[in-house]
Amino acid sequence: MPGEIERNVATCVRLIGEADARGAAVVVFPELFLCCYDLSRLREEPDRCDLSADDPRLEPVREACREGSIATVVSGSLLDGGDRTISALVVDGDGEIVARYDNQHLDREETGLFRSGREGCTFELGGWRLALGICYDATFPEHARAAALAGAHAYLCPSSHERRSVVHAARAFENTMYVVLSNHLGEADGRQLCGHSAVYDPEGTLLADAGPSEEGLAVADFDPDVLAAIRTRSPMLEEALAGEHAG
């Protein structure tokens, strides 16, 4: 719900519990989920929409992660030294915030409201190296490629798309890494967001899709043997690294 942070946190907690019950190790929520992707409300009522990384309203999310020993990527409008950023926070299975990423590529409607992030973000969870990209980031191939060259096995993407994504499968294929898309569903700020949260394997094959019409989870396994086999037969990253070193 727009501007209803406590209510949206309660939804996070419920879905974290559902993801845990289905055996998930990490759950990814859409872009600006904590305040809802409603730029008009963000512009008009910043006090209702903004939060800080240590905001006490996030404690139920942290507790849900502790209870389920499950990690969560949750996105909101964060205040940072007088600036606002579209950010994603990573809460680990101990309830600790272990990473933060600020959206580096803002679209033209967001640039007047937010400051662009200054660097990428990769982090370790359960032996996997994961990277974050928020919405418009994924339309820039170099963003995901930088994550892959930094060692990422997967690229996690909170988003707010009106049309079903074609870029996430491409980012998976060209970087031989898993890609997770988490997208809003329903109307927001006059836009009809299309859902289809999804998981793609390192060849861009769709593994799971939450569909276009009902709240749901797209759940799939990351398999290290599959990742290794695909990277062996499609050595684009190895060749890209070799080219960087030669240069």
Helix (H), strand (E) at residue 9: helix 5-21
Distance CA(44)–CA(208), nearest Å, equals 37
Q: What is the reported pLDDT for 165?
A: 87
| Residue 246 reports pLDDT greater than 80 | no
Per the prediction, the chain carries an average pLDDT of 94
Bridge pairing between strands 185-188 and 83-91: unpaired
> Domain limits of the chain?
5-246
pLDDT at 105 (0 to 100): 98
pLDDT recorded at residue 186: 86
Query: How far, in Å, CA of 67 to CA of 218, rounded?
Result: 21
Q: Which two tokens stand for residue 79?
A: 């205040």
Residue indicated by tokens 């096995």: 153
Report angle CA 38, 101, 111 to the nearest 5 degrees: 45
The CATH number that domain 5-246 falls under is 3.60.110.10
- pLDDT digits 0-9 by tens, 71-91: 999 999 999 888 999 999 999
Residue with tokens 């859902």: 195
Helix (H, G, I), strand (E, B) or coil at 40: helix
Residue pLDDT, tens place only, 129-188? 999 999 999 999 999 999 999 999 999 999 999 888 899 999 999 999 999 999 998 887
Per-residue pLDDT tens for 178-202?
999 999 988 877 888 889 999 999 9
Alpha-carbon distances of 155 from 31, 169, 185, rounded to whole Å: 14, 11, 21
Identity of the amino acid at 150 = A
Threshold 0.85, pTM exceeds? yes
Output the CA–CA distances (angstroms, integers) from residue 2 to 42, 101, 205, in the order listed. Answer: 9, 22, 34
Cβ of 12: how many Cβ atoms within 10 Å? Answer: 22
User: For residues 16 and 36, what is the distance between their CA atoms, to the nearest angstrom?
Assistant: 17
> In 3D, which of 88, 64, 85, 57 has the Cα closest to residue 75?
88
Question: Would you call 228 helix, strand, or coil by DSSP?
Answer: helix
Give the pLDDT mean for 124-131.
96
Question: 180 CB contacts (<8 Å, ≥6 apart)?
Answer: 28, 154, 155, 156, 157, 198, 199, 200, 218
Q: What is the mean pLDDT of residues 28-40?
A: 95
The b/e string for 89-117 (b: 16+ C-beta within 10 A; e otherwise) is: bbbbbebebebbbbbbbbeeebeeebbeb
Phi, psi torsion values for 98, nearest 5 degrees:
-105, -10
Residue matched to tokens 């499609």: 234
Question: What would the pLDDT profile of 89-101 be if each residue is shown by its tens digit?
Answer: 999 999 999 999 9
Coil, helix or strand for 59?
helix
